[in-house]
Amino acid sequence: MHFDFSAALTLATFITGLIAGVYWLTQRKRDHKNSKEPVLVEYAKSFFPVLLFVLVLRSFIFEPFRIPSSSMMPTLLIGDFILVNKFSYGIRLPVVNTKIIEIGEPKRGDVMVFRYPKNPSLDYIKRVIALPGDKVGYFDKHVYINGQRITQKPLGLYEGVGQGSNMTGALLQNESLPTQEHDILIMQGRPSIEGETVVPEGHYFMMGDNRDNSNDSRYWGTVPEENIVGKAVVIWMNWDADNNGINWHRLGSAIH
């Protein structure tokens, strides 16, 4: 069973605010200077501002996420804790995820968190490869956008650490999307799913940087705009017990 933290936080904020507000309205015309507030009201008044602050911060500004898999290696490692900018692609209401203020749109190369289309209770993180209206293909370990093969530059063999050590020996490549360069991993002898599609309007084609170890748009299709959560911007912590705990070199690293 999936626990919806956003819904629980919103509900808790509403309930504590309601209790505190109703008590204030019923008592403000009475003289109860020496009366003791009910314990429930005391708790509600104490927790409401804290919950409201966390709700606003998490819903409209930044939300923390933990990377649980290797699908975005070498950009993101297992055990990275990241911050996701919630307003880069517009202000959305919590829980219902409805956009209420337009600010910006995803660009090719952005690392984006979104709700998995086949199970919206799960959050996924991948890279935006193609935009609405693009014709995108994947053949022979290369991406094609609108008929143009996206270039890759070899950087040698990858050496993994900690829980990502199983990727040691993969090809480390620098991929050049329009306006964005980033590194990817390729397992040369591993078969890849191939094909071509046109991205529907209001949708985005997403791929993991660990190309042969990523469950992405090649397998289940595009991501609708309403499933967008936000843009991954910075690594604020990395904890990998298989790599001596904290990797101090990754703290504060921008995500590109």
Distance CA 17, CA 45 (A): 7
DSSP H or E segment with residue 157: strand 152-157
Virtual CA dihedral for 209, 176, 132, 103, nearest 10 degrees?
90
Catalytic amino acids? 71, 126
Half-sphere exposure at residue 69, Cβ-oriented, CA atoms within 13 angstroms: 14
The sign of the CA dihedral 244, 250, 255, 256 is negative
- Relative to beta strand 135-139, strand 195-198 is antiparallel
Helices 5-27 + 39-56 axis angle, to 10? 130
Distance CA 131, CA 222 (A): 10
Tokens of 118: 């086949």
Integer distance in angstroms from the first to the last C-alpha of the chain?
33
Distance CA 58, CA 65 (A): 11
